[in-house]
């Protein structure tokens, strides 16, 4: 059995800006109105014979969407982003939070962005591919006690007709 949640209809959406460093067209700061579809496979169980309550999944994913909404997504492990004042071998979200702004260089472009305008992500990229893995890992952490779940998939859409899906089999 599987359950499906359609991100557009269920309101699992966020708008954010990102950069794909050194990419010909996506290398400039630009934005998307994202929506996130979720698919969860597993055995039905419990008092109501659910795979998992839709309400639980929607609340986790909505909170994740909210945490990314109206921000610039910064993948701190990207090797084309040279972060000022940071030790490349010891990057952590905590070390960035000591600064008021996030400063980085990509090739010959220099950026200084207020910290409050950014979301720091423990990722190499902020592509739909990487974001779908991020959503799945966060869901996996939140659903660890649901032993009946066999797989978790998230499709992060950058707009209608274009998304990346990642599946974690448990």
Catalytic site includes residue 28: no
Can you tell me which residue has the tokens 């982003």? 81
State in angstroms the smallest separation of the CB of 53 from Zn ion. 33
Select 3 or 26, whichever has its Cβ closest to Zn ion: 26
Q: How many CB atoms lie within 10 A of CB 127?
A: 19
CA 27 – CA 21 distance, rounded (Å): 5
State in angstroms the smallest separation of the CB of 31 from Zn ion. 8
Query: Please, which of residues 73-102 interact with Zn ion by CB under 5 A?
Result: none
Catalytic site includes residue 26: yes
CA 136 – CA 118 distance, rounded (Å): 21
Nearest-5° angle of CA 119, CA 123, CA 90?
90
Select 65 or 143, whichever has its Cβ closest to Zn ion: 65
**Residue whose C-alpha is closest to residue 1's, from 153, 151, 161:** 151
Catalytic site includes residue 32: no
State in angstroms the smallest separation of the CB of 8 from Zn ion. 18
Query: Please, which of residues 12-31 interact with Zn ion by CB under 5 A?
Result: 26
User: Backbone dihedral region of 135: left (phi > 0), alpha (psi from -120 to 50 degrees) or beta?
Assistant: alpha
Catalytic residue among 26, 39, 118, 129: 26
Per the CB < 8 A criterion, the answer to whether 54 and 4 are in contact is no
Select 52 or 65, whichever has its Cβ closest to Zn ion: 65
State in angstroms the smallest separation of the CB of 158 from Zn ion. 6
Catalytic residue among 65, 146, 155, 158: 158
Cite the active site residues. 26, 70, 158
Site residues for Zn ion per CB under 5 A: 26
């Amino acid at each position: 059995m599987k359950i499906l949640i359609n991100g557009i209809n269920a309101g699992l959406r966020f708008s954010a800006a990102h950069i794909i460093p050194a990419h010909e067209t996506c290398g400039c700061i630009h934005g998307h109105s994202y929506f996130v579809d979720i698919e969860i496979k597993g055995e039905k169980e419990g008092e109501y014979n659910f795979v998992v309550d839709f309400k639980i999944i929607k609340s986790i994913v909505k909170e994740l969407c909210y945490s990314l909404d109206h921000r610039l997504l910064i993948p701190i492990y990207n090797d084309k982003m040279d972060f000022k004042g940071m030790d490349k071998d010891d990057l952590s979200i905590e070390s960035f939070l000591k600064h008021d702004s996030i400063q980085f260089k990509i090739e010959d472009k220099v950026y200084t962005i207020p910290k409050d305008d950014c979301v720091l992500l423990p990722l190499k990229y902020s592509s739909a591919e990487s974001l779908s893995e991020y959503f799945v890992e966060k869901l996996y952490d939140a659903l660890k006690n649901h032993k009946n779940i066999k797989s978790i998939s998230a499709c992060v859409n950058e707009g209608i007709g274009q998304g990346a899906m990642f599946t974690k089999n448990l």
